[in-house]
Amino acid sequence: TLPTGLTISAATGAISGTPTVSIDSTNFVITATDAKGVTSSKTTALVIQGPLVATAAIATKTLTQSRAATSFIPVVGSGGTAPRTYAISPSLPSGLTMNTATGAITGTATDSAIAIAFTVTVTDSVSDTATSTFTLGVSRALTASVAVATKSLTATQATSAFTPVTTDGGTSPIT
């Protein structure tokens, strides 16, 4: 029996319809019978892929300017007909690239960027597409500056609070 949604024409042997389930490679025996009752059978394999889906694996990611990003895959494609390719819009911040075969983002962002939504489009080999979004921002590189180079304190006397080093940029919280 063919999967739900498919039928076979008794006159031509053509299989048609819209399958409603996905199946792994399954063998089907097709038997032709002539007017005298003589039969001939052959086996054919049928695979029904699930629909192409794009799923956000990472909702939000913040990178740091001038630091190499650990490779990450923000959107995962599944189903459809392999192979799948990945594209992103708008363009990634300078220094970052997306691997079109895996969807992995790598590189070193050269500039800071406010967090914005990016759309990843997954396309399979029969040109079906699916999309999902994630948010990416690039914080300024962390820099430290000396605010108080030298401070003299007196034993047994309270001191007013002071900050010897100040910071700028980086990803909060800074500790």
Q: For residues 148-162, give the mean pLDDT.
A: 90
Specify the range with the lowest mean pLDDT, choosing from 2-16, 109-123, 141-155. 141-155
Contact of 165 with 146, CB cutoff 8 Å: yes
- pLDDT digits over 96-134, tens only? 999 999 999 999 999 999 999 999 999 999 999 999 999
**CB contact at 8 A, 59 and 135:** yes
Residue 141: pLDDT band with limits 50, 70, 90: confident
% of residues, the chain, pLDDT over 70: 100
pLDDT band, very low/low/confident/very high, at 24 (cuts 50, 70, 90): confident
Dihedral in degrees, nearest 10, Cα atoms 135, 140, 142, 145: -150
pTM confidence score: 0.71
